[in-house]
Structure 1
Amino acid sequence: MYSRPRLIPCLSIQDRGLVKTTKFTNPRYLGDPINAVKIFNGKGVDELCILDITATSENRGPDFEYLKDIASEAFMPLSYGGGITTLSEIEKLFYIGYEKAIINTSFVTKPELIKEAVEFAGSQSIVVSIDVKNELFGKKSCYINDGKTKVKHDPVTLAKRAEELGAGELLLNSISYDGTMKGYDLDLVKDVSESVSIPVIACGGAKDIYDFKRVLEDGKAHAAAAGSMYVYYGAKKAVLITAPEEQELIDIGIYKQN
Structure 2
Amino acid sequence: MTRRKIIACLDIDNRRVVKGKKFQDVKELGDPLELAKKYEAEGADELVFYDISASVQQRGMFLDLIRQIGESIEIPFIVGGGIQTLSDVELAIEAGADKVSINSGALKNPDLLREASERYGSSRIMLSMDVSQSESGQWTVFAKAGNEDTGMDAIEWAKEAERLGAGEIVVNCIDEDGMRNGYNLELTSLVANSVSIPIVASGGAGSAQHIRDVFEQTNAQSALVASVLHFGIVSLDDLQQVVKEGSYGD
Same fold (TM over 0.5): yes
- Is 1:132 paired with 2:131? yes
What's the counterpart of residue 241 of structure 2? 248
What's the counterpart of residue 116 of structure 1? 115
What's the counterpart of residue 156 of structure 2? 157
3-state SS, counterpart of residue 153 of structure 1 = strand
Counterparts of 1:218-237 in structure 2 under 5 Å? 218-234=217-233
What's the counterpart of residue 179 of structure 2? 180
CA pair 162-35 structure 1, distance change in 2 beyond 3 A: same
- Is 1:88 paired with 2:81? no
Q: Distance between the aligned counterparts of 2:229 and 2:103, measured in 1?
A: 23
TM-score computed with the length of structure 2 as normaliser: 0.94
What's the counterpart of residue 6 of structure 2? 7
What's the counterpart of residue 146 of structure 1? 145
Between 1:79-88 and 1:37-46, the stretch displaced more is: 37-46
Q: Distance between the aligned counterparts of 1:33 and 1:250, measured in 2?
A: 26
Could you report, residue by residue, the CA deviation over 1:20-43 in whole angstroms, capped at 9, with x for unpaired residues? 121011111111011101211211
What's the counterpart of residue 19 of structure 2? 20
TM-score computed with the length of structure 1 as normaliser: 0.91
Contact 1:133 1:174 in 2 (8 A): yes
Q: How far off is 1:244 after superposition?
A: 2.5
Between 1:193-202 and 1:140-149, the stretch displaced more is: 140-149
Contact 1:123 1:167 in 2 (8 A): yes
Q: How far off is 1:255 after superposition?
A: 6.5
Q: How far off is 1:96 after superposition?
A: 1.8
CA pair 254-11 structure 1, distance change in 2 beyond 3 A: farther
Contact 2:177 2:204 in 1 (8 A): yes
Runs of 4+ residues over 4 Å off in structure 1: none
Could you report, residue by residue, the CA deviation over 1:160-217 in whole angstroms, capped at 9, with x for unpaired residues? 0100101000000011100000001000000110000011101000112211111112
- Residue 126 of structure 2 aligns to which amino acid in structure 1? V
Flag structure 2 segments of 5+ consecutive residues without an equivalent.
none
Contact 2:142 2:150 in 1 (8 A): yes
Between 1:242-251 and 1:83-92, the stretch displaced more is: 242-251
What's the counterpart of residue 237 of structure 1? none
CA pair 3-139 structure 1, distance change in 2 beyond 3 A: closer
Q: Distance between the aligned counterparts of 1:246 and 1:190, measured in 2?
A: 21
Q: Distance between the aligned counterparts of 1:20 and 1:185, measured in 2?
A: 19
- Residue 248 of structure 1 aligns to which amino acid in structure 2? Q
User: Higher helix share goes to which structure?
Assistant: 2
- Residue 237 of structure 2 aligns to which amino acid in structure 1? P
Instruction: Name the % identity.
Output: 34
Contact 1:5 1:254 in 2 (8 A): no
What's the counterpart of residue 216 of structure 1? 215
Contact 2:205 2:211 in 1 (8 A): yes
- Residue 42 of structure 2 aligns to which amino acid in structure 1? K
CA pair 110-211 structure 1, distance change in 2 beyond 3 A: same
Q: Distance between the aligned counterparts of 1:250 and 1:218, measured in 2?
A: 14
Flag structure 1 segments of 5+ consecutive residues without an equivalent.
235-239
